[in-house]
């Protein structure tokens, strides 16, 4: 089963490189995918990641490189119009920034791996329940 990794999962792994999440990401037993947008989102928060983790920017970049070696970045332009439309209908009243992650999960018939409880609850209330949990 393919796992679609939300940015907050990578964020968590960067903040605590010894966590269960980081270990799982570094030794995956299944395919891990993420929309390219996720990388941009991480870059936007690099200072916050460094501050919370107490790691230097170089240390964060090393950890990020190791994590990224195990994740396939999916071109959002390859996601079908049907998956994008379905995802938008699911997230428009929850968090529109998560549309690409949900659309990718629909597109690859995978599981969404997110730590966003509000997103999970909102998606579940709309009938989407394809989630991964450690």
> In the chain, what are the domains?
3-125 (3.40.50.1010)
Give the span between the Cα atoms of 120 and 123, in whole angstroms.
5
pLDDT in tens, 4-63: 999 999 999 988 888 999 999 988 788 999 999 888 888 888 788 888 888 888 888 888
The reported pTM is: 0.91
CA distances from 98 to 10, 39, 53, 58, 89 (A): 15, 13, 24, 28, 12
Q: Is 34 helix (H, G, I), strand (E, B) or coil?
A: strand
pLDDT in tens, 82-104: 999 999 999 999 999 999 999 99
């Amino acid at each position: 089963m393919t796992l679609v990794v939300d940015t907050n999962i990578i964020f968590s792994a960067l903040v605590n490189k010894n966590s269960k999440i980081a270990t799982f990401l570094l030794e995956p037993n299944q395919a891990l995918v993420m929309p390219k947008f996720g990388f941009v989102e991480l870059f936007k928060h690099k200072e916050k990641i460094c501050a919370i983790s107490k790691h230097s920017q170089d240390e964060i970049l090393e950890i990020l490189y190791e994590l990224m070696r195990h994740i396939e970045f999916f071109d959002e332009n390859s996601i079908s119009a049907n998956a994008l439309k379905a995802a938008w209908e699911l997230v428009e009243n929850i968090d529109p920034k998560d549309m690409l992650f949900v659309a990718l999960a629909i597109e690859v018939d995978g599981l969404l791996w997110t730590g966003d409880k509000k997103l999970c609850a909102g998606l579940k209330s709309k009938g989407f329940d394809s989630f991964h949990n450690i």
